[in-house]
Structure 1
C-alpha cells in the first residue's frame, strides 16, 4: 500500500488505543490476533463498523494464558476506542470521558502512531462475511451486563460435564487456576440468548405426530421466529452470527 493511501486509512479508519497492556498479552480483533510487545498500544486503520475485540492475559513468561474476555463495538469513521489495563482485575476497562477525549486527540495528531499495529485489511472480507447480520441492536440485546463476554461467567458451560477433550481441559483450567471465579462473585453475566426448548411437548396430538415434531423442528423454528423476532429473519441470523463468534 502506498504511503498516501495508508495515511487516508489511518485518518478515516477507527483506532483501538490500549493503555498499559502487559507484554505477551494476546489481543485480537475480528479474525486477527496480536501478541503485545513492550511498545504495543493498540490497532489502527480499523474499517468502521461492527468488530469483536478480545484478549487473554499472560503470566510473566508468556506461556500460560487466562480465558479470553471479549466485547463487541460498533465504530464510526475516525473514532478512537480507548481502554486501559487494570492490573488488579487483569482486564481492560473504560477510561473517563475526559481522558478518552484527551487520548483521542493524541491519536488523531499521530502521537501514538508508531505504537499502533495496522489492521490487516485483506482479512476484513472474511470478518464481514462472518458478522454480516450483527447490528448494534443485536449486540445490545444479547451482550451481558457490562458488555464483556467470558466463559468464566457462563455457569452452564463451566459447571456442565464436558464431553470433548478441549472442553475438559478448559474446565480443568477454570477450576485449578487463579483465573477461576465463582459465578456468585462474578460481576459479569452470561449472554442473553433466545431459549430454545430441547423437546416439544403438545397436548391433543398423537404420539406419532409428537415424534414427528421433535424430529423435524421446522414448526418450532417458525414459532420462535414469530414470537422472539417478530418474523424478522435477519435478527435470527444476527443472533446466530453472534453465537458463532462468541464460541471462538
Structure 2
C-alpha cells in the first residue's frame, strides 16, 4: 500500500504564533494510556446483531468461491477501500476494509486502512493502536512510518503531549533513512516537528529540503510562523513589514 494519498488530519496546522506556542507549553503531562483491543478498532470483529453476523457469513460463503484465494480477495477490497478513502467517503471505506479483514485478518494493509480512517476522524488513540499493528508486519515501509509519525503529530497538537512529538521525529527520521529521495512530505513534517521542538534552524533546513523536492510545500502560513521565530538562513524568505 505504498500509494496511499495521505489525508490523516495534521495539516492545516493553524500556525498563528499564539497557537503554535501554546501547543507545546500548555500541557507537558504524558497522555492517559487508553486500553484498547483489536475488537475495539476492527468493526468486523464485533458484529452488533445476529443479522450482521449472518450477513458476514453469507459474504464469506460467496467470496471464498468468487476469488482464487482469500488473500487476493482481501487485496481486492483493500484497493476499493483506498479509493473510497481518498474520495473522503469514510463510511464506504470502512465497509470495504471490513470485507478485506473478513477475507484475510492478517493483511497489514487492512490495519493501515483502518488507521487512516481513525486519523481522519481525529480518533488518534485508535489510529495509532492499529497503525502499529500494521507496522509489525511492514517495518521498513517509509510511507507507513510517515503516516504513523503524522498521527503522532496530530495527537500532539490535540493533546499537547511531548512524547508524541519525540516519537514522531524518530519515525520520520527512520523514514528518511529508508527513502531519502522523493521525500518532500516527510521533510516537510520534520520541519513542522522541529518547529514545535523549537529547533528553528533545523526546521529551516528540513523546509528548504522539502521545497527543493516539491515547490508546493512552500506553505506561506508555516513560513510566516517560522520567520517570526528565526530568519531564513538562506535569505529566500523574509518577514513582511
Q: TM-score range by the shorter chain?
A: under 0.3
Task: Tell me which structure has the larger Cα radius of gyration.
Answer: 1
TM-score normalised by L of structure 1:
0.23
Higher normalized helix content (fraction of residues): 2
